[in-house]
Structure 1
Amino acid sequence: MPELLPQIAEPTDASLAASGRRVVEIEARALEHLATRIDGGGSNRTFSAACQLILASRGRVVATGMGKSGHIARKIAATLASTGTPAFYVHPGEAGHGDLGMITDADVVLALSYSGESDEILTLLPVLKRQGNAVIAMTGRPQSTLARESDVHLDVSVPAEACPLDLAPTSSTTATLAMGDALAVALLEARGFTADDFARSHPAGSLGRRLLLHITDVMHAGDDVPRVGLGATLSEALVEMSRKRLGMTAVVDDEDKLIGLFTDGDLRRTLDDAALDVRTAMIADVMTRGPKTIAADQLAVEAARLMETHKISGLVVVDEAGRAVGALNIHDLLRARVV
């Protein structure tokens, strides 16, 4: 008689959501346990020791790992490289067939293996030791061969995998990735890595634009800057605004220093004032004094932040002497894809 297959209940929205929540909760607990092991007391200073090893190195960080640990090692290497710590990934299997030549004696090797017994990595240890490389291990077993033979061991063990079969690496890979992020950020802060440094390694795409584009790259300058003198009439200011099409005009003194700003919003408020004769009004009587400004060498993303914070749509660019040297509005930032 044929063997009957076990009956599997039809999944429901509730059961699927419950499975998802259970995974997140298990992995969150794993991260809580991990946090207590980062220099958690007594003589346990392995995390700071790992950071000091990398900071003292004249070479790169070479991350390696097999299987899922290899995927995590690639991500850690990428995060380190983009945050000021030169790093790359080497496949441990390929390393034994020539790629060891990529590793110099000045490099620090970051070896990932949750069991601490991956044959491909253990095979490399004697060669790395003979070459003089410092080895930082991330494992889930402090008594494993890799943990014992490394210069520094970072314990990434977890109470349980999120996989109900306790087979698929889930909580363990999350913990290992988090430990890698912790290393990268600690090193970033120790090196004084800045947003400008970050921009230099991310020149492409929207991130690069946000971090590399300066006000001078997007502002209107020279004759394209709308400006009128302090003695101008409101009518003259409106003609200048219409001509330059930025929805505003700077009001300057005889030395071109910024005194005030008149915008489309100011015009609407002026028209609401029944006691004001638009034909004879002077710009000095209706302008906004002490407007928000920005310098030409600041990042364009800072202009976007100012506009959003103060609910304005344009800025005058001033030099160190307070002279109006440029102007830009929200449309300029949109065209530059800064916002």
Structure 2
Amino acid sequence: MKQENALRHNWTKEELLAIYNKPLMELVYEAASVHRQWHNPQEIQISTLLSVKTGGCPEDCSYCGQAARYHTNIKVQALLPTETVLAHAKKAKDSGSSRFCMAAAWREVRDNRDFDRIIEMVKGVNELGLEVCCTLGMLSESQAQRLQEAGLYAYNHNLDTSEEFYDEIISTRKFDNRIETIKNVRKAGITVCSGGIIGLGEKPADRISMLRSLANMEKHPESVPINALARVAGTPLEHLPKIDIWEMVRMIATARMVLPSSMVRLSAGRIEMSEVEQAWCFMAGANSIFTGERQTLLVTPNPGVDEDMEMLKNLGLKPMQKEVKETCSMS
């Protein structure tokens, strides 16, 4: 059942579109069946995301409130002290999280004192017994190796959207830059967390193209976040409509079908989803949610931890317990 040779890496766009466009109830049923073959359907991994360095990013990602060029009223925050980050990590663990992700609003990692401090944070969070994840921008092979040696479990670097639509959203880097960072992460033996955002003005074909890029990688990402656009005032995409929940369900179900071994993470945009709508996403194959302290996810609103725990209880779900694995074994 859970065999690597059961995974496909040669999907065509036509095949993926056929899955995406199935009658909704049939699609959800099939995705839920695949989910039960590969995962425990009663468990949801609780992942806590903390912004360790906020705002002032030189990139021009059209959806991001942390880009320095947009006027979003988001307060720029320098890199947090290591002890502050570790206190947040301990609190997250005590609240039921098994994964702790640290995000820094950088274009790329630089070999300087800030990176040395990130290394110390990774070591400290790892010692707490949490899966430790980072998202720091573009990463060289040697920097990825340093993070792996410090105990980093996963590195998040989203594709965001399709290669074809990418230039409509970001001009300060190329789609290939993202692929290169993911390759560097893989070479270092760190697990890959990579997904995208829907509701950017893209077409369904773009969503499918992004999924195809992930599903046809030599090794599937262990973690695939599916984000709904969180519309931030002051960004170029602030006036786009809220993505329809059934589009989210279709996207999650299709991801589950073609990336059966991966954790599919219901990520940004949950604040605008009802408990019932989130339940549909879980039925379609999502098995992780992100929480953030102060009811935020980086710089956008997010349900609170207590609210999430009550939702899981209502749905008969439970937080996933961390399995102890050697990071290097996941290469």
Do the two structures share a fold, i.e. TM-score over 0.5?
no
Which structure is richer in relative contact order (CA contacts within 8 A, separation 6 or more)? Answer: 2
Q: Taking structure 1 as the reference length, what is the TM-score of the superposition?
A: 0.27
Q: Taking structure 2 as the reference length, what is the TM-score of the superposition?
A: 0.28
Q: Decide which structure has the larger Cα Rg and report it.
A: 1
Say which structure is richer in helix.
Answer: 1
